[in-house]
């Protein structure tokens, strides 16, 4: 084979351009869906789109972590009710069972005109439909004196993984009679009951291992999810251990000093041994890079979770501004199934079903003392709206509370299977 100089130079230029911005190979004739974020929303969406399209859609899942550690049930690990390894889940089943192309990399940019996602490695992934499920990032300056650079000293432990391990180690190392402090987040935030279940689980651990320790909960909110149930549980199980300081007592005027391990509340300095700072939250950074946010979150249609800025992009879970649903793993999983059905229908011509959503948030107060809150939802022009709800009641029998806890364990097994198996 011979090649003239012009052909050679043209081929060389094309090869140089391709190497400068590599494209992950995709089947061109098949519709392409790229999912960014492998948590409760993203993994579920990728699995359902691949499964329900039966190979008619090429699905790529972009997730930097090779093992996903759930944020939910991390509190039970802190309390000694759950093993850390049981929080971790592999993506191997999504690739092996559904043919999903799992790419372990960071998505750092979205070109909505070209319909490509750029990766930290320099690669670029084309899409026909893009699903963003990036979870949360933190609002800079939401807690005076704290930044992400201080998370090794004052952990947030509000993303699954090593931060939860760090907080557990810090609690275990507390001196006898020491003080654990939490700075709770302002609304809206991931898992509304989460900080208060964490207080319960830390109290359980301390009661068993450091019974003279104290817990200081500094909270900028007037009220919080399942408040009566949590406060009843703290009084019954951990009497005198937990003190909550709300905004009426300076809970919204705080400053932390990670180096000195102090929390200043309305001008009063408190020396603490462990400080769990849960900052204000916003959508994961890729939503901002895609240019689909309004304020801290990404507004979506309640009918299919598509972005109100770009209908070729779907936003799931914590990052979405969708209406009445709380930001939770259960919500993200529910939203992912609605979105997957809509995407498969749009790309293959299959039937689309009306959007229906549900959510339940379980919490553990103490051994076999489980509580829950939940609702079912439907779509409207103004957003997702609740159509009925339920919540545990103060004074329930021990049998009811134990059954509620067992129900939460069954749910954990079910949702992680729904995501990964």
**Tens-digit pLDDT profile for residues 98-135:** 999 999 999 999 999 999 999 999 999 999 999 999 99
Quick one: 217 and 315 in the same domain?
no
Q: Residue 94's closest CA among 418, 337, 411? A: 418
Number of folded domains that form the chain? 2
Quick one: 54 and 41 in the same domain?
yes
Quick one: 154 and 248 in the same domain?
yes
Show which of 233, 260, 279 is a domain's final residue: 279
Q: Residue 280's closest CA among 184, 198, 199? A: 184
For the cut 50, the answer to whether the pLDDT of residue 8 exceeds it is no
**Tens-digit pLDDT profile for residues 226-285:** 999 999 999 999 999 999 999 999 999 999 999 999 999 999 999 999 999 999 999 999
Residue 390 lies in a domain: no
Q: Backbone phi, then psi, for 242, in 5-degree steps?
A: -105, 125
Quick one: 245 and 308 in the same domain?
no
Would you say 92 and 183 are in contact if contact means Cβ atoms under 8 Å apart? no
Rounded Cα gap, residues 302 and 357, in angstroms: 10
Quick one: 83 and 166 in the same domain?
no
Q: How many CB atoms lie within 10 A of CB 331?
A: 27
For the cut 90, the answer to whether the pLDDT of residue 318 exceeds it is yes
Average pLDDT, the chain: 94
State the average pLDDT over residues 359-383.
Answer: 98
Residue 79 lies in a domain: yes
Quick one: 308 and 267 in the same domain?
no
With the C-alpha atoms ordered 186, 191, 195, 196, is the resulting torsion angle positive or negative? positive
More confident residue, 298 or 24: 298
Q: What is the CATH number of the domain that holds 101?
A: 3.50.50.60
Residue-level pLDDT at 11: 33
Residue 2 lies in a domain: no
Domain residues for the domain of 82 are 10-135+284-353
For the cut 90, the answer to whether the pLDDT of residue 5 exceeds it is no
Residue 393 lies in a domain: no
3-state DSSP assignment of residue 238:
coil
Residue 358 lies in a domain: no
For the cut 90, the answer to whether the pLDDT of residue 18 exceeds it is no
Quick one: 245 and 298 in the same domain?
no
């Amino acid at each position: 084979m011979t090649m003239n100089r012009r052909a050679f130079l043209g081929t060389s230029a094309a090869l140089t351009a391709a190497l400068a911005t590599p494209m992950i190979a995709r089947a061109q004739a098949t519709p392409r869906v790229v999912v960014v974020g492998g948590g409760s929303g993203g993994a579920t969406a990728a699995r359902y789109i691949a499964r329900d399209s039966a190979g008619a859609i090429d699905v790529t899942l972009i997730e930097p972590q090779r093992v996903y550690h759930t944020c939910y049930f991390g509190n039970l690990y802190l309390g000694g009710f759950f093993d850390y390894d049981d929080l971790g889940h592999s993506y191997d089943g999504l690739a092996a069972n559904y043919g999903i192309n799992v790419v372990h990399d960071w998505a750092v940019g979205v070109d909505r005109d070209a319909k490509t996602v750029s990766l930290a490695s320099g690669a670029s992934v084309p899409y026909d439909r893009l699903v963003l499920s990036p979870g949360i990032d933190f609002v800079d300056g939401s807690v005076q004196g704290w930044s992400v650079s201080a998370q090794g000293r004052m952990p947030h432990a509000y993303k699954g993984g090593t931060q939860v391990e760090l907080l557990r180690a810090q609690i275990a190392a507390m001196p006898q009679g020491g003080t654990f402090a939490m700075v709770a987040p302002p609304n809206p935030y991931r898992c509304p009951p989460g900080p208060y279940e964490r207080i319960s689980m830390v109290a359980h651990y301390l009661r068993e291992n450091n019974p003279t320790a104290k817990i200081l909960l500094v909270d900028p909110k007037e009220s919080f999810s399942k408040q009566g149930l949590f406060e009843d549980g703290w009084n019954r199980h951990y009497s005198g251990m937990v003190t909550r300081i709300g905004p009426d007592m300076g809970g919204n005027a705080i400053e932390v000093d990670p180096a000195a391990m102090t929390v200043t509340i309305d001008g009063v300095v408190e020396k603490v041994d462990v400080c769990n700072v849960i900052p204000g939250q916003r959508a994961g950074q890729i939503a901002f890079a895609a240019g689909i946010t309004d304020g801290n979150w990404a507004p979506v249609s309640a009918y299919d979770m598509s972005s109100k800025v770009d209908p070729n992009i779907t936003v799931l879970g914590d990052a979405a501004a969708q209406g009445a649903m709380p930001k939770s793993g259960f919500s993200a999983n529910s939203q992912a199934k609605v979105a997957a059905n809509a995407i498969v229908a749009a790309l293959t011509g299959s039937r689309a079903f009306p959007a229906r959503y549900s959510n339940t948030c379980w919490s553990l107060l103490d051994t076999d003392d489980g509580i829950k809150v939940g609702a079912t939802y439907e779509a409207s022009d103004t957003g997702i709206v609740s159509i009925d709800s339920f919540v545990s009641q103060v004074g329930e029998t021990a049998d009811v509370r134990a059954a509620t806890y067992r129900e939460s364990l069954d749910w954990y097994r079910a949702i992680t299977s729904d995501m990964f198996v």
